[in-house]
A and B are shown apart, each in its own frame.
Chain A
Amino acid sequence: MAITTTLAGRATSAELPRLIFGDRWDYDPAPESADPRIAPSYDLFIGGRFVPSAEGESFDSINPADEGVLTRIARANAADVDAAYAAADKAYARVWRKTSPRDRGKHLFRVSRLLQERAREFAVAESMDGGKPIRESRDFDLPMAAAHFFHYAGWADKFAYAVPGARVEPLGVVGQVIPWNFPLLMLAWKLAPALATGNCVVLKPAETTSVTAMKFAEILNEAEIPPGVVNIVTGGGETGRLVVNHPKAAKIAFTGSTEVGREIMRSSAGSGKKLTLELGGKAANIVFADAAMDQAVEGIINGIFFNQGHVCCAGSRLLVQETVAEEIIERLKHRLAVLRVGNPLDKNTDIGAINSRAQLDRIEELVADGEREGAAKYQPACALPERGWYYPPTLFTGVTQSHRIAREEIFGPVLSVLTFRTPEEALAKANNTCYGLSAGVWTEKGSLILKMARGLRAGVVWANTFNQFDPASPFGGYKESGFGREGGLQGIFEYVKTV
């Protein structure tokens, strides 16, 4: 397709040398071969021991890459959740609150080290269980999870500094419910600050991704974290409700959909429970005409296709300044053509498997709606594996603000492109959403970055970068993306009370 020059003097993508991949170069398979050491079945982890569920129920954990059964997971019912809270309560009263802050920290440092030592094994397990590319679980999820424990370990005997002028105490027992998109990392985001500040925890992993949580339970014992300080109950939505509504929970921390977040708010209304909700997003990634184009294009690709787009802060709405829209779309199409979709365990894979059949259905439904509402769909020619759940990288142009694909969280590798003329218009469009989790800005002009960063109603703003995370950097939303922060100094506040 011909590319017109849109700005005088700018080298357009038409003039850039380009490698034609097509199907002429086959990649050799490059599978990661470390043994994930996944047991044939997993029990619940309560009071430091692995125990079967009281009613003996369990469910299959499916590998989304080939739809094979990976292992069986126990399903926790009311009696199990009760037992978990009782164990946590006992551990809090008898052990953990009496453990010196320094020693609490040392336990967490151990956890971090043990995770680092077993990182490769955990990364493979994470990719098999959830479908994410091994490159991401190896280079992002595992190091970041270990870093979170290391970071908060150091806070354990210093967290009073995070709440100046007040005396603070732990809350007691907290219930935590985490999602399937970054299973181990979300566990780390939740557990590390809760434990560092002296709380005990009942944690429920997502139904489709429990494996690394149960493997992590082994690490808790290896690190000699006292029994009952962390209890892990597996199961689906019903188990989650039991965890959230338990009267012994002083606080609920939840990451997941805005819909479930609402349900949690409703069910804990009037209880006085402290809440942290990290919910959905529909981030605008705003590219101005003067942006460094190569970096911006990489940032857009990373922003939406990272982890198959199963990212609450994904840059799913691309807002491009009109004068460079054509050029950017052209560059994106070329970039999409070289993304490799396939086996999550292959080190060359960019986009792995969609986490579940249900999620794949939702993506397909929203994409069909996008086409029906009049947006133009683009997908590169891309062979998908025959078994397993996959979705090709997808680009929509001609999207308007009222389209469903511009309003609803898709949670898949689908990018909607909109255009704007002025910074004010970009701000208005970016903020025209019930969400407010993250946003991106690309421009070489410093004052414009600060103007946009100030005007965007979102909890994280990435300027000339996207999808950066760090244990020291708070994360969380405005508006219906939830409240409370995870990470950094501000993350401490969520797990203490002032007395």
Chain B
Amino acid sequence: MGRVTVNKTWKMLIGGAFVRSESGRVFAAPAAGGKKETGEAAGPQACRGSRKDLRNAVEAADKAFDGWSVRNGFNRGQILYRLGEMIESRAAEWAEALRGTAGGSSAAAKREVAAAVDRAVYYAGWADKFAQVLASTNPVAGPYFNFTAPEPTGVIGVIGGARTPLTGLLSQILPAVVGGNTVVALAPEEAPVTAVLLGEAVAVSDFPAGVINLLTGFREELTPAFASHEQIRGLDFVLPRDAAGEVEREAAAAIKRCRWRETGRDDDWLAEGAESVYEIRRFLEFKTVWHPHQV
């Protein structure tokens, strides 16, 4: 008889802590490692996050915003780079965990993990540069010094999609976070393991608690709560057209900034163009300051 293995409990990351859903609910995660599911009890169980979990996560993200939004870019860049390091060091394990979750082969899973590392490095590099590229001093026709600089929007809600779920989720989270926003993300229910993996990497990458919060659960259940929560200032979501319309209608109440990516059309995360300084720009506000320069 072989050794009795110690299996990992899948938890969510809220406010820097690994937690189960307050509701106590779980759902059977699609089998990892490409193994065939033999029965409901055989596969891992993911937390089925509730609206209350979401509210807790938003509270944590809101609390983290004050500190994270004013951290200097160099420091944010180092933290994102460390996230890349953490993923790289566990690439083989992650590829194994991802294999099959989104119908991909072993080679596809490896490609995806590599893409995730590269994406982290890409955005890490932008941390102390995007403001220079997007800001301006403005030559106004008067005796004023006038400049425009970007600032983060606030708490951003992310709803991940099924396609290349790890790289996708990361590609939605990182541009918001590198810009100084804090994030509450719902991992795609087709691959809740992405939240487990990312949570473990985030927790050891020097992100302050609450900057990235990762939930698992059902899109249909949690999407309305993302759309209507007033403290969520922006949304980045992969959804089909009908569901996206619902989200945007609800988001209008608080004039949320919405970034909709249509399922099956606009969610090719490995494509060129899935990473851009203009993805960072989506959740930036531009502040213009005037001051007389004559005494």
Contact = CB atoms under 8 A, between A and B. Distances in A.
A265 B255 contact: yes
Contacts of B138: 470, 472-474, 488-489
Interface in A458-481: 458-465, 468, 470, 472-476, 478-481
Q: What bracket does the count of chain B residues touching chain A fall in?
A: 35 or more
B136 A270 contact: no
Contact of B286 (A166, A268, A474): A474
Interface stretch (B11-19, B140-148, B159-167): B140-148
Interface of B is mostly: mixed
Given A269-B245, A270-B241, A470-B146, A459 B288 contact: yes
B255 A277 contact: yes
A353 interface: no
A272 B242 CA distance: 12
Residue among B146, B241, B244, B289 facing the most chain A CB atoms (10 A cut-off): B289
Interface of A: 147, 163-166, 258, 261-263, 265-266, 268-272, 277, 279, 434, 436, 449, 453-454, 458-465, 468, 470, 472-476, 478-483, 485, 488-490, 493, 498
Interface stretch (B34-42, B45-53, B246-254): B246-254
A272 B287 contact: no
29 contacts: A147-B141, A163-B278, A265-B248, A265-B249, A268-B248, A269-B249, A269-B252, A270-B242, A270-B248, A271-B245, A449-B291, A453-B287, A459-B287, A460-B288, A461-B287, A461-B289, A462-B289, A463-B290, A464-B291, A468-B144, A473-B146, A473-B290, A474-B148, A475-B288, A478-B285, A489-B138, A490-B136, A490-B148, A490-B286
B290 A261 contact: no
Contacts of B233: 479
A166 B276 contact: yes
B55 interface: no
A490 B136 CA distance: 9
A436 to B, nearest CB: 8
B4 interface: no
A51 to B, nearest CB: 34
Given A166-B278, A265-B251, A483 B290 contact: no
Interface in B108-146: 133-134, 136, 138-142, 144, 146
A470 B133 contact: no
B292 to A, nearest CB: 6
Contacts of A449: 291
A454 B285 CA distance: 12
A161 to B, nearest CB: 11
Given A463-B290, A468-B142, A498 B278 contact: yes
B197 interface: no
Given A465-B290, A479-B255, A488-B148, A165 B141 contact: no
Contacts of B68: none
B229 interface: no
Contacts of B286: 459, 474, 476, 485, 490
A263 B248 CA distance: 11
Contacts of A461: 287-290
Nearest to A485: B286
B219 to A, nearest CB: 16
Nearest to A163: B278
B244 A270 contact: yes
Contacts of A269: 244-249, 251-252
